[in-house]
Structure 1
Amino acid sequence: MTQQSIEDYLSTHAFFSELDKQSKKFLSDTAGVVNIKQGDVLFKLGTSADKFYLLKSGAISVQVPALEGPSLEIQKLKAGQMLGWSWLIPPYRWNFQARALEDSELLEFDGSIILAHCEEEPAFGYAVLKLFAGLMSERLDRARQKTMDQWEPAGFA
């Protein structure tokens, strides 16, 4: 995938629709393609986070790993969905784990470069923060709901 095709893809993607053309161009310039095989871990809970991803094809499981036994799956992501917000919020550590459910192709964005640009250009930074705040809210709500479903304490919903 060329930088131009990445830019074209971002220009029509719903997640980035609120950003101006210049911001989408900047983001596309920080992106590259990464492939991951079924079963491989893209990132682990607690490790350093300096990237985010847009799933082009395949499927990714967002998980909370267990000390023993299987991980708790929070959400299954499919093509077109975003993955990763930990690069934006100190201490820049992954809050979940991501594992490929099938061979997958992703756009990988350099969060370090984007974060530096957010500091230099506050309007861009605010626009990016608004986008990712929605993603954070969705992911944390899914985690809360999944935890409640598994735990099933009396009086909680």
Structure 2
Amino acid sequence: MNTPSMLRALPIEHRQRLMRLAREVSFPQGTRIFKEGARADRFWIIRTGSVDLDTHVPGRRHAVIETLGHNELVGLSWLFAPHVWHLGATAATPVRAYEFDATAVRSLCQDDPALGRAVTQWAGDVLAHRLRTTRARLLDLYAPYGAGSAV
């Protein structure tokens, strides 16, 4: 199952209001988009390319949790205090994306409660999907064979 996209999650009038805040950006392959623990002050929706979400593993290289692609949301920590990245992100391929200033979007959500609810629901759906994906990935990496089987 893919991450819920903004196109499917938000009514057209909310998408249009959000897109007025977007600016187009690009990242060359290998660019560190954000680092775990840094200030979360923006987010992105991927137009083309792919982004690896990862977590720091002491003494090892970053463990990739999920690879995101077209129309997927990159970054959730901007919405929830203390606005610090809980994962890291790297451009796995060249990426073109829409970038949003988190402060401007939070302000828009506060001024329009219906938009705020829609954005929060969308982000919550994405977060739930990422938690399921992370659990499955960690079971694949670290659990004994068959440990992830349903009881």
TM-score by structure 1 length?
A: 0.83
Count of equivalent residues: 145
CA 1:91 to 1:14, structure 2 compared with 1: closer, same or farther past 3 Å? closer
1:48 is matched with 39
Contact preservation (8 Å) 2:10, 2:122? no
1:45 & 1:37 partners in 2: Cα distance?
20
1:136 aligns with 2:149: no
Give ranges in structure 2 of 5+ residues lacking alignment: none
1:29 aligns with 2:20: yes
Deviations 1:101-145 (CA, angstroms, capped at 9, x unpaired): 111111111121111121222111111111111100111111122
2:63 is matched with 72
Between the aligned residues of both structures, percent identity stands at 26
2:8 & 2:146 partners in 1: Cα distance?
40
1:61 & 1:14 partners in 2: Cα distance?
17
1:117 is matched with 108
2:83 is matched with 92
Bigger relative contact order (CA 8 A; separation at least 6): 2
CA 1:153 to 1:89, structure 2 compared with 1: closer, same or farther past 3 Å? farther
Cα RMSD for the two superposed structures: 2.0
AA aligned opposite 1:148: L
1:7 is matched with none
1:80 & 1:26 partners in 2: Cα distance?
17
Cα shift at 1:81: 1.8
TM-score by structure 2 length?
A: 0.86
Cα shift at 1:96: 0.8
Give ranges in structure 1 of 5+ residues lacking alignment: 1-12
1:31 & 1:18 partners in 2: Cα distance?
17
Cα shift at 1:80: 2.2
